[in-house]
Structure 1
Amino acid sequence: MKKTWIHLFVFVIILAMTAETIQNPYTSMYLTSLKEEAIMVSGDSSLHNDIVEAKAKLDIKPINAVVDRVWKGIPGYNGVEVEVKASLEQMEGKKFDEEMLVKKEIEPEIQLEDLKPSPVYKGNPNKPMVALMINVAWGEEYLPDMLKHLKKGNVHATFFLDGSWAKKNPDLVRMINEEGHEIGNHAYSHPDLKQMNNASIHKELEDTNKVIEAAIDKKPTVFAPPSGSYAYNSVEVAHRLGMQTVLWSVDTVDWKKPSPHVITTRVLQKVHAGALVLMHPTEPTEQSLEAMIRGIKERGYHLGTVSQVLDSKRISMIP
């Protein structure tokens, strides 16, 4: 109560000041801030206190991206800050309502792109989102049904396309894109990049980008090394071409053609926040997809593209 009277007293003094004093721009700015605070506190100190208390409870600091010794690149995650003044204005004349708090996201000081180029195996562990990454160099006969399951589950995945496959199947490339899925680069001829020099790696990646761009007028921003085989020079080459190198943290091992139940169980036992789930267009994968999507959602995870998982935006900010 004492603080309220002090602010009111300051406010009265402000109003009594001469025009000459207020004409000073620095004085004017200071007086404006005092005036706003006096009005805010005198207007409804109880509501103001409730908002300040909620801010102390709900503010979350952003998390910087890091290069981990084991997991390599781990993206950052935005924080949240309650804006007191805007929240007070939003609730003017009303009782305190946490749903009406005005919040803004605070980006980390260090993002993944600020660090030395590194492969990523998973998203930030504080972000409850999972991406299905589908590597395609064969199995086109199963893709239409996989797309139907994804659409039914309202899920957008990331398809990493082999360049030579994409050249033979431009209609399927366009179909994947038109369904809203992300398309990534999987090199041109499924090579072992560890055995290749920079020039050869560059050609593999650039030729694939050209084929994909010719089909959908978009350049990939993510790259998955064939068979997960890479050396650091391939990460650098991909980076120079504007692509993040991506691996996985959950493997379906579907190329061994296990039963759909085995694939689903394997994924649901290992899925985690930020998981990148590797799969291919196989018959058991197609048959397991619906149950897999349902199980991931039941565990409280959102499903999105690889780029959405790696972005520092919070879930609420992702369309």
Structure 2
Amino acid sequence: MKNDQRLPGRRALLRLAAGLGTAAAVRMIAADPAGSPLRDPAPARAGAAGPPPAARTRPAPYRLRPMTAGAPPRFRPAAPPVRTRPFEELPGIGHAMVLSFDDGPDPLYTPPILATLREHDVRAMFFVCGEMAHDNQDLVRAIAEDGHTIGNHSWTHPLVTGLSRAGVRDELGPTSEVIERLTGAAPLWYRAPYGAWNRNSFEIGAALGMEPMAWTVDTLDWTEPGTGTIVRRVREGAAPGVVVLSHDAGGDRSQSVAALRRYLPELLDDGYRITVPQRR
């Protein structure tokens, strides 16, 4: 969705997330491990695994609460190999958009999302949590077989900014390994839980061969605002190059499933091409 430190419980993290305002969340995106903001960050450019530790074989129930709200700021391309900000939109892809789904795979909600995408012959990004992937291996394979892009969303969905470098490595590394074991290919993209990034996550992600991907349009579907509201947020945010954030796990995602069935054909009727990013 552990590291060499004792982590707080998931409920404590969610209480922390709920108590942080948008401004604080944005500051955390670019915070270093000591909490000092990264000054004048360079902008970003789009462009044999064994089983995981025994302690990670069962996902715990949780309700995810992203820490960023609204459209994040946009950044210009920068030279690799290590980014200092995540990609938040993908300019230069024409009249196209990217749909992304976090926190799965979930046996209840991921299959109908896959069915809708298959019906319209489009591809999306799925940022999976390692513990969910480990417990739903056939779904990971199904996502890959349908041609979707699978990204790394950590193993247990922790607040990355509270982890040591070893802790970040322990979250990202095994998740990449289980994805590679199940699909035959290591992930090339990752997304920080809660949208909270720091220098350690950028550097360790790069060392694992991954680029950081955030989003442009947040549907806030985790709040269960109603199917119509989710559809409206996607339609109002639709524009060339945007990345839409939704979820296929972490709570009741029936509204997310129903919303996709409505807004996807509407986007296609409007001439949008639904695509996934290509690494350069």
What is the TM-score when the length of structure 2 is the normalising length?
0.69
- Tell me the residue number matched to 2:262: 291
CA-based RMSD: 2.3
- The 5-angstrom pairing of residues 202-241 of structure 1 reads 202-241=169-208
**What CA deviation, in whole Å up to 9, does each residue of 1:2-49 have, x standing for no partner?**
xxxxxxxxxxxxxxxxxxxxxxxxxxxxxxxxxxxxxxxxxxxxxxxx
- Tell me the residue number matched to 1:147: 114
Percent identity among equivalent residues? 30
Following TM superposition, by how much is the alpha carbon of 1:218 offset from its aligned partner in structure 2, in angstroms? 1.0
- Tell me the residue number matched to 1:62: none
**What CA deviation, in whole Å up to 9, does each residue of 1:110-169 have, x standing for no partner?**
975546513111111663221111002464301111111001111110111100111111
- Tell me the residue number matched to 2:229: 262
What is the TM-score when the length of structure 1 is the normalising length?
0.61
Give the direction of change, closer, same or farther, for the CA distance of 1:239–1:116 in structure 2 (3 Å limit): closer
230-239 vs 187-196, greater mean Cα deviation: 230-239
Looking at structure 1, the residues matched to 191 and 77 of structure 2 have their Cα atoms a distance apart, in angstroms, of 20
Following TM superposition, by how much is the alpha carbon of 1:185 offset from its aligned partner in structure 2, in angstroms? 0.4
Q: Name the structure with the higher helix share.
A: 1
Paired residues, number: 208
Question: Do structure 1's residue 278 and structure 2's residue 245 form an aligned pair?
Answer: yes
Contact 1:73–1:112 (Cα < 8 Å) also in 2: yes
Q: Given residue 257 of structure 2, which amino acid in structure 1 is its aligned partner?
A: E
Give the direction of change, closer, same or farther, for the CA distance of 1:138–1:215 in structure 2 (3 Å limit): closer
**Higher relative contact order by CA 8 Å / sep ≥ 6: 1 or 2?**
2
Following TM superposition, by how much is the alpha carbon of 1:194 offset from its aligned partner in structure 2, in angstroms? 0.5
Gap regions ≥5 residues in structure 2 = 1-39, 48-75
- The 5-angstrom pairing of residues 1-319 of structure 1 reads 72-75=43-46, 113-114=79-80, 116-118=82-84, 119-124=86-91, 127-137=94-104, 139-281=106-248, 282-305=253-276, 307-308=277-278
189-198 vs 130-139, greater mean Cα deviation: 130-139
Looking at structure 2, the residues matched to 289 and 208 of structure 1 have their Cα atoms a distance apart, in angstroms, of 27
**What CA deviation, in whole Å up to 9, does each residue of 1:202-242 have, x standing for no partner?**
11111101111111111000001111111122111101110
Secondary structure, in 3 states, of the residue corresponding to 2:108? helix
Looking at structure 2, the residues matched to 143 and 137 of structure 1 have their Cα atoms a distance apart, in angstroms, of 7
